[in-house]
Structure 1
Amino acid sequence: MTKRGWVWIAAGVIVVAAALLWNARRGAHHSTHARELPPVQAETMTVRRIPMESFSVSDGTIRPLQEATLSPKIMSSVVAVMVREGDRVRRGQELVRLEAADLQAGVEQAGAALSAASASAEAASSAARMEQEAAEADIRSATAAVQEARAYLQMVQTGPRRQERAQANIAVEQAKAQYDLAHSEAERMRALFRQDVVSKQRLEQAETAEAVAKAALESARQQADMVAEGSRAEELKAARERLAQAEARLAAAKSRRLAAEMRRKEAVAAAGQARQARAGLTGAKTMAGYSVIRAPFDGVVTQRLVDPGDQVGPGSPVLVLEDRSRWQIEAFVPEAEATALKPGDRALVRIDSLGGDEREACISEIRPGGDPSTRTVRVKADIRDTSRLASGLFGRLLVPRGVRSVVAVPENAILDREGMARIWVVGKDGRAELRVVTLGETRDGMTAILSGLKDGEKVAITNLDAIQEGVKIQEAAR
């Protein structure tokens, strides 16, 4: 064997000897100490397994459901900040005002341009409409005149028809019959007048009727002669000139309609310019509106980052706002447990800084992908009871895993010494033994013991500070 091997053997022997000596002294000390200390009265209980709901626990952070860091959309200087940290604000409330003289001038300029463009568009539209209506009326009138002139020319070129000549002859015959009757009556009246049978007035009436009938006969004969004679060259010439004038008038009306169409297109272009001017005014007002930063929701100002006179620009934060009416916890849950979760599942949130207060929660969001470095998934849960919560508090997300049988003791039976959980276990000989245990969940005043204690063992639950290692425990009546 080498020299190094002998050294290791000697060291091992020394360690074993030191351990045996320390245990012997400790046993002697306890025996002597136990004999010296009087018994201690304390209530005890025999540990039993009980059903208890178990949870998987993941560390997380309390955050508001809505949180916004406000920043301007334009480069400008701060004129006024109307809020301080801690102020409650309403949605739409003015928070920060920026210098906007140049933007306001742009609004006025755009407004003037819109007024001018709108006036031009209205005038162009009215003119185009009036010209279009006049052109259409001229076309209708000229078209009717052309149709009438064509019909007249056709009639003149064709001459009188047989029916017209027949009607003219019939008119002559009728007029001749009327005249013969009137003439006979007048002759009879003249004879009677000579015999003093009728008055002169009656004679004059008959002679007047005779003269009228004679004139009507002459007119009918002249009309019949004209129908029989046909159209003359002068009439044909006049009819053709009339048609040419009507066609020229129609062509002029159509040309005016083309001009009216051009006016209409100009009116459309003017209306487009008015729309562009209106859009320019809207854009100018929008830019001017950026000079005022408003609250996007009801909340509390948690950070004020600028003061009047500061120069700010797009992306530079000026205020931080929180909606404190709704809160959630954001925790990182192991992948194996996160896969079983879905939105709407029940959960609990424990907040150590509020005395371990546990509150009902509901899973609201599960990030699809996990963190490959930690093998965890970010999970968010909405907290129902929002009293006394603050942004950034440390919390624990408790996800139910079902009910199981566990060894449990009352909370008041657990001591916290040197950062470790300990319990006074009463042995079969009635003496106390301080034992280190691993704690689980606490429900209804009972804490699960994961290791360090067995079912059926007896523990002290009162007067714990008076108990020492090895002392005799006298069970006190409850």
Structure 2
Amino acid sequence: MQRKSRLLGLRTGLCLAATWMLLGGCDKIEPGAFSAVEKAPFTPAQTAVAQVQEIDQWYEAVGTVRPKTETRIEARVTGQVLDVRVSPGDPVSKGALLVTLDNRQMTSRLDQARQALKTAEAGREQARHALDAARAGFKQAQANYNRIKTYVESQAATAQDLEMAESNFRQAQAGVQQAEEGLAGAEAGILQARAVVNESAISIEYTRILAPEDGVVLQRFVEPGDLALPGKPIVALRTTGALRMEAYVREGLITRVAPGASLTVHIETLDRLVAATVEEIVPYADPDSRTFLVKAAMPVVEGLYPGMFAKLRIPVGRQRIVTIPWSAVRRVGQLELVHVQAGDGWQTRHVKSGVRLEDAVEILSGLDGTETIGWEVTDNG
């Protein structure tokens, strides 16, 4: 009696399992397997014949969308950040104030430089007066020397008088030369002082960081209170609206890419394909990844921003595939089912889909491209 009960339970379990598999609850049905002809009459709302077509095969090189022209503005002087006028996403015009640095130290240096310039100018005036006096003394000594020389020739003066006059003449001549050198030194001092004044004034101008071109703020790297240093980025600007895709292409496919080639970029976030033109191929392979950096220009697309993930599609050949309308596939859990015409009736067939092609879908297995497919309007879910 117990043995009959166990057999009855086993038969019941097998029947339930078979029924569950036919209803699509089993993931182990092989693609292309047939169920029995529909017991309930199936009248499709629409029908279509499976198509065999050739499509391009792609290698998708992952990369990043970047601005075509990105400017990183750096500080030219050391100073504490007092104010940051912009935030990421803000449009700016050429000459607009972006960041203000503390300029008190530069202002103090400018005042000192201006005072040094005044001192140098006063020294130049003194040197000019000294030169005028030296030249006057030289003329007097020269006239006295010439007069004594005439007296000596007429024996109205002694040789000793001539030596003294010549000595005074030579000293006056040296004094003029010394005064001229002093004036030249004063002039050089003025030039140096003016250079310091100009440098100090420029340093003050550098504390007001302006936009070099019209653009959009991409990033700001400082906040009020930070210390700005030469060479340290402060703000990043996109100076044009153009974007480009930078992708790394493996070395085995780099011969399929050339400057000027028209390719497509897949933006997964937007679920869009965007046209791109190869602008540059960096002629150096990364020794670790064995890839080349490829840069392709892209048009302005609404919703597309620098830094977004993208894939550069590189054609590698063509492939024959079977396609049917996307709405013809009925999905039950993880199963994909289609209604296939068989004689006067319809059968339910398990298929496996691939890439969606607009209103159609690729069928990887279960169909050979000759079948007539039927579906109800609500079958696509």
TM-score of the pair, normalised by structure 1: 0.57
Q: Structure 1 residues 425 and 322 mapped into 2: Cα distance closer, same or farther (>3 Å)? A: farther
Give the letter aligned to residue 51 of structure 2. V
User: 1:457 maps to which residue?
Assistant: 370
Aligned: 1:293 with 2:293: no
- Give the SS at the match of 2:187: helix
Check conservation: 1:82, 1:94, Cα contact below 8 A.
yes
Q: Render the CA deviation track for 1:183-237: whole Å, top value 9, x for unaligned.
A: xxxxxxxxxxxxxxxxxxxxxxxxxxxxxxxxxxxxxxxxxxxxxxxxxxxx996
Aligned: 1:407 with 2:321: yes
Aligned: 1:362 with 2:366: no
1:40 shift after superposition: 2.0
Match of 2:96 among 68, 84, 93: 93
Q: Render the CA deviation track for 1:284-338: whole Å, top value 9, x for unaligned.
A: 2333234323334433335556655x34342776655444612122222222223
1:110 shift after superposition: 1.0
Q: 1-side partners of 2:22 and 2:81: how far apart?
A: 78
1:44 shift after superposition: 1.1
Q: 2-side partners of 1:115 and 1:238: how far apart?
A: 55
Give the letter aligned to residue 262 of structure 2. R
Give the letter aligned to residue 299 of structure 2. R
1:32 shift after superposition: 5.1
User: 1:353 maps to which residue?
Assistant: 269
User: 2:109 maps to which residue?
Assistant: 106
User: Unpaired segments of 5 or more residues in structure 1?
Assistant: 1-17, 150-234, 469-478
User: 1:333 maps to which residue?
Assistant: 249
User: Unpaired segments of 5 or more residues in structure 2?
Assistant: 1-12, 25-33
User: 2:190 maps to which residue?
Assistant: 274
RMSD of aligned residue pairs (Cα, Å)? 4.9
- Give the SS at the match of 1:96: strand
Q: 2-side partners of 1:107 and 1:264: how far apart?
A: 30
- Give the SS at the match of 1:83: coil
Q: 1-side partners of 2:240 and 2:233: how far apart?
A: 20
Of 240-249 and 292-301, deviating more is 240-249
User: 1:203 maps to which residue?
Assistant: none
**Structure that is richer in helix per residue:** 1
Q: 1-side partners of 2:300 and 2:234: how far apart?
A: 31
Q: Render the CA deviation track for 1:437-471: whole Å, top value 9, x for unaligned.
A: 4338x5xx587849437774336386464499xxx
Q: Structure 1 residues 453 and 269 mapped into 2: Cα distance closer, same or farther (>3 Å)? A: farther
Check conservation: 1:410, 1:461, Cα contact below 8 A.
no
Q: 2-side partners of 1:100 and 1:418: how far apart?
A: 71
Check conservation: 2:79, 2:101, Cα contact below 8 A.
yes
Q: 2-side partners of 1:458 and 1:130: how far apart?
A: 118
Q: Structure 1 residues 425 and 32 mapped into 2: Cα distance closer, same or farther (>3 Å)? A: closer
Aligned: 1:47 with 2:51: yes
The 5 A counterparts of 1:39-438 are 39-50=43-54, 52-67=55-70, 72=75, 76-121=79-124, 124=127, 128=131, 238=154, 256-303=172-219, 308=224, 310-314=225-229, 319-323=235-239, 325-354=241-270, 356-401=271-316, 404=318, 406-407=320-321, 409=323, 412=326, 415=329, 424=338, 426=340, 429=343, 431-438=347-354
Give the letter aligned to residue 61 of structure 1. T
Q: 1-side partners of 2:129 and 2:323: how far apart?
A: 94
Q: 2-side partners of 1:131 and 1:41: how far apart?
A: 118
> Alignment identity in percent?
23
Q: 2-side partners of 1:415 and 1:276: how far apart?
A: 85
Q: 1-side partners of 2:328 and 2:137: how far apart?
A: 105
TM-score of the pair, normalised by structure 2: 0.69
1:113 shift after superposition: 1.2
Q: Render the CA deviation track for 1:166-199: whole Å, top value 9, x for unaligned.
A: xxxxxxxxxxxxxxxxxxxxxxxxxxxxxxxxxx
Q: 1-side partners of 2:216 and 2:110: how far apart?
A: 33
Give the letter aligned to residue 389 of structure 1. L
- Give the SS at the match of 2:306: coil
Q: Structure 1 residues 131 and 100 mapped into 2: Cα distance closer, same or farther (>3 Å)? A: same
Check conservation: 1:129, 1:264, Cα contact below 8 A.
no
- Give the SS at the match of 1:43: strand
Check conservation: 1:346, 1:361, Cα contact below 8 A.
yes
1:274 shift after superposition: 2.4
Q: Render the CA deviation track for 1:103-143: whole Å, top value 9, x for unaligned.
A: 2111111122123324534664686589679969998x999
